[in-house]
Amino acid sequence: MICILCHSIGPYHAARYRALAEFIGKTEIIILELASREKKYPWAETDRDHLPTIRTLFNVPLEQIPGREQAKAVGATLNDLQPHVVVSVGYSDPAMRTAARWARSNNAISIMTGATWRGDKKRYFPLEWAKGIWCRTHYDAIFASGTRHLEYFAGLGFPINRIWRGVGVVDNDFFANYAAAARAKSEFLKMQLGLPERYFLCCARLAPEKNIHRLIRAFAHYREQGGQWHLVLVGSGPQEEELRRLAASLAPGFVHFAGWKQYTELPYYYALASCLVLPSISEPWGLVVNEAMACGLPVLVSRKCGCLPELCWRGINGYDFDPYDENELAELLLRVSSGAVDLERMGKAGQQIIANLTPESFARTFVDMLETIRRTRTASG
C-alpha cells in the first residue's frame, strides 16, 4: 500500500491523484488528509470522484489543529495502515516528520515531495546542514518540483540520482477547455464579470510575499508613460485593504480587485486577460503560471519564482524580471501592450511548453521513481 500524505485535498491534488490512480490502481493508494479544509485556501469542496481511498484525520480547518495533535494522529494512523510506501510533504511540519520517522522505523519506502529552493528565502548554514542530515537519513527519494529544487536538495548532499522532478503540474486540459469556452462568449462574460477590454492579470494571495504593492506601483508608472491596459487582481489576503488604498491613490479606476475565485471560475479570468504577471519575492513554484500557460496566455514571471526555468522562456512565451525593480517591470508592461510583441504566438508557445507538465507526467514520473527505489532495495539485499 502507498500512503500519500497531504494537508488538505484541493483541486490540484485531486488531478494528480486521479492520474496516479489510473497508473497504479485505486486500491493500491490511500490518501491521508490531515484536515478537510484550510482557511488559507478556501476552496469549495473538491470533486473526489475517481480518487483513491481518503482518510481525513480532522474535520476542522488545518490551522486550528496543533502540530502535536496532527503528528500524533498521523503516527497512530500509519500504525493502523502499515503501508509499504509513505509519501510526505516537506519536513517543516511535525506531522510530516512523524511520517518520515515512521517509515524509517518500519522499513517502508520513504519519499518526500518538496518545493524548496535556495533563492526563495534567506538560508542559514547550521539549519541547512541539519536539513541535509535529515533528508539523507529519512528519505529514499525526493520528488521535487523542478530544476531549482533538484539543485537545492543536491546541494544539501542528497544523492542527485535519487531526486526526480515534476510535481508542479495542473490539469492543463481543464484550464484549456474552460478558457476556450469562455472566449467564445467573451463580450458577455466581460460585461457580467465587470472586466475591462484589455488587462494584465495577477492571480495571487494579497500577502507580503506576493509583492503586489510593487506591481501596483509599476503599473502606475506604466499608466503614466501612456499604457492603456488595466490591471486585474484575483485573490484575497491580509494586505487587501492596504493594497486597495494604494491602487486608489496611484491608479484610480484602473486596478480591479476581483476577490477570491473558486477553481471553476479561474479560467474565465485567464481567458479574457492579455497577459499574466506574477511578481512574487518568495514563491516555491507558482502554479498560476501553469494555469495561465494552459489557457494560452503570455507570462511575466519574477525571477524569485521557482518555476522560472521550466515555464518562462524569455522571448518565447514571456519574460522574466527582477521583482524589486519597478522600472524594469513597468517597461515590460509597456513592451507587452505596445503591439510590438506577438502575444498570440507567445500564448501558443506557452501551451506547447506546458504540455510536458501534466498530471499524467506526474504519475509516470512517480511510478518510475518508485520502481527504481524498489529495484535498488532489492539489489542491495
Please give the full DSSP string across 313-372, using - where no structure is assigned: -BTTTEEEE-TT-HHHHHHHHHHHHTT-S-HHHHHHHHHHHHTTSSHHHHHHHHHHHHHH
Which structural domains are found in the chain, ordered by start?
Answer: 2-169+358-380 (3.40.50.2000), 172-354 (3.40.50.2000)
* Cα dist from 24 to 82, 212, 364, 367, 376, whole Å: 18, 41, 10, 8, 20
What is the pTM assigned to this prediction? 0.95
Q: For 157, which DSSP code?
A: T
Residues 6+ apart with CB under 8 A from 135: 91, 112, 142, 153, 156, 157, 158
Q: What is the pLDDT along the chain (381 residues), one digit of tens a residue?
A: 999 999 999 999 999 999 999 999 888 999 999 999 999 888 888 888 889 999 999 999 999 999 999 999 999 999 999 999 999 999 999 999 999 999 999 999 999 999 999 999 899 999 999 999 999 999 999 999 999 999 999 999 999 999 999 999 999 999 999 999 999 999 999 999 999 999 999 999 999 999 999 999 999 999 999 999 999 999 999 999 999 999 999 999 999 999 999 999 999 999 999 999 999 999 999 999 999 999 999 999 999 999 999 999 999 999 999 999 999 999 999 999 999 999 999 999 999 999 999 999 999 999 999 999 999 988 876
| Per-residue pLDDT tens digits for 289-308 | 999 999 999 999 999 999 99
Please tell me the predicted confidence (pLDDT) of residue 195.
97
Locate cell 462568449: which residue?
185
- Cα 214 to the chain's mean position, in Å? 21
Please tell me the predicted confidence (pLDDT) of residue 48.
83
Please tell me the predicted confidence (pLDDT) of residue 381.
64
Q: For 28, which DSSP code?
A: G
Rounded to an integer, what distance in angstroms lies between the CA atom of residue 314 and that of residue 283? Answer: 19
Q: For 283, which DSSP code?
A: B
Of 263, 299, 307, give the one whose Cα is nearest residue 174.
Answer: 263
Rounded to an integer, what distance in angstroms lies between the CA atom of residue 222 and that of residue 327? Answer: 9
Please tell me the predicted confidence (pLDDT) of residue 294.
98
Please tell me the predicted confidence (pLDDT) of residue 141.
98
Averaged confidence pLDDT in the chain? 96
Rounded to an integer, what distance in angstroms lies between the CA atom of residue 51 and that of residue 26? Answer: 7
Residues 6+ apart with CB under 8 A from 357: 166, 168, 169, 172, 290, 310, 311
Rounded to an integer, what distance in angstroms lies between the CA atom of residue 269 and that of residue 82? Answer: 44
